[in-house]
Amino acid sequence: MPNSITQAQPPLKFIPPTYNPIVRQVASFALPLWMQWRLNLREIAVDQPETLLKLYEQFQAGQTRFMLAFRHPSTTDPYCMYYLLSRYLPSVARQQGIELKSPIHAHFIYDRGIPLWAGKHIGWFFSRLGSTPIRRGKLDTVGLRSARNLFTDGQFPLAAAPEGATNGHSEIVSSVEPGIVQLGFWCAEDLVKAGRSEKVLIVPIGIQYQYISTPWTALEKLLSELEQDAGLSPNVPEADLAWIQSHTALTDRYHAQIYRRLIQLAEHLLTLMEDFYRKFYRQTFSAVQQEQAANPEAVQADAVGALPTNHHIAQRLQSLMNAALRVAETYFDIQSKGDFNERCRRLEQAGWDRIYREDLKQIEALSPVARGLADRIAEEANLRLWHMRLVESFVSVTGQYVIEKPTVERFSETLLLLWDMVARLKGTHSFSRPRLGAQRVQMTIGDPLSVSDRWQSYKENRRQAVANLTQDIQQSLEKMIRM
């Protein structure tokens, strides 16, 4: 969402999927160049593409309806999925002599908020690709009905990210949301009612990124820029390096030094933000203080080196995110319940309710005074959402991600999350997120999970059947991560 919303807006309209084969064809033609030039993605490898080819054969023969449930560590993922369908699978099909009707495509489910910050043209483009939007923070009956209809009767299979949002970690799967499973059972229900025999499946797809050559120089350059933005002069004492090298897998002096600087930057930013929320929003951080009192040895160890688990930093981050969300929740009069993801989505919807006014169908007909008051509410709501935006990039940060496996990929992912934070604090857009080096992507097609085989269980206990299948998707995506 842009930072400069100062006026109330008309209600958010549903963007209906309006598939246009010409738009799809142009996008397919331009995609390889875009991925190399803009995304710096140079290689794509796919494990078990035959599984997906067989499913498309069955789909086109009227034997199955299925959903592609893909991992979502990065905003690059939809491009990889589109390349998989429009380029990779047709090539494999030709090589294996498999005849499939063109095009191999999918109806993607996307967040309705994307066109708000990326531009209205993105909504137009997604619509012409046959994609359908969903509002994540409310019961979006119109969006759900569209997705349900596409799952049951769409020209192509459905595709969605079951984690709901990006988490910035190739090797951590966020909690899978139950929405896509519910859509699967609704599809099975609709088929039964219509007397149709297609089998309903959900296909987990793993996505994982690696650098083709390790970009340590670019990573250190970005780290230096962030240190400068934060007003931090890096200082890594010899005792710290010795401690890191003797207590962790970072035996290389250069990597140990970068790691300590990364920790220093994180600690510095945490201190700045804690002071900010304590001074101006009267937030307390008693949970961190209690942790320090209960575990003084850990705090002391952090002071002279780096704990293998970085438990202290993780605890401070959790407390800081909780404080930031409380500030926004207090303004919107929302209870602090659920995990961080749930709280972020609830806040987002509360902000949208004040910006995109359902109760003001004819905003242009308001008196100047009434319009001024509506604008003031919209501007304040947008400002309060800033606290939530600060949090949503860090919901999957564990504090252990780098040190438990200190690869350049994990270093980079963590540093880029800090870059997101600094960009937001500076009031700049995150569209120009740095690309540290050329990457390859590893995609893995998982074994299809049958919704139809669980139909009887769903009729007996809907909540439990949804929970069980959601957990199976979670485990399948986690098993596909290459450590």
- The neighbour count for residue 308, using CB atoms within 10 Å, is 14
- Cβ atoms < 10 Å from Cβ of 134: 20
| Closest by Cα among 174, 164, 215, 234 to 398 | 174
* Residue that wins the pLDDT comparison between 2 and 12: 12
Helix (H, G, I), strand (E, B) or coil at 440: strand
| 129 CB burial (10 A radius; 0-12, 13-18, 19+) | buried
Average pLDDT over residues 233-247: 85
List CB contacts of 324: < 8 A, sequence separation 6 or more.
273, 277, 387, 388, 390, 391
pLDDT of residue 400: 86
pLDDT over 90 (residue 441): yes
What confidence tens digit (pLDDT) does each residue in 328-380 have?
999 999 999 999 999 999 999 999 999 999 998 888 889 999 999 999 999 99
* pLDDT at position 482 over 70: yes
What pTM does this model have?
A: 0.91
List the one residue out of 34, 28, 32 whose CA is nearest residue 44: 32
Count of other CB atoms within 10 angstroms of residue 40: 15
- Compute the residue count for the chain: 483
CATH code for the part of the protein at 21-212+437-479: 3.40.1130.10
pLDDT for 152-203, tens place per residue? 999 999 999 999 989 999 999 999 999 999 999 999 999 999 999 999 999 9
Q: What is the pLDDT of residue 291?
A: 54
Model pLDDT, residue 234: 83
Sequence-distant (≥ 6) Cβ neighbours of residue 123 within 8 angstroms: 15, 114, 115, 133
Q: What is the mean pLDDT of the chain?
A: 91
Q: What are phi and psi of 24, to 5 degrees?
A: -60, -40
Q: How confident is the model at residue 310 (pLDDT cuts 50, 70, 90)?
A: low
Domain limits, the chain: 21-212+437-479, 216-426
What are the tens digits of pLDDT across the range 106-124? Answer: 999 999 999 998 889 999 9
> Is the predicted pLDDT of residue 306 greater than 90, yes or no?
no
Q: Is the distance from CB of 87 to CB of 35 less than 8 angstroms?
A: no
Taking residues 452-468, report their average pLDDT. Answer: 97
Q: Are 247 and 439 in contact, with CB atoms under 8 Å apart?
A: no
What is the mean predicted confidence (pLDDT) over 19-47? 95
Q: Average pLDDT of 381-400? A: 90
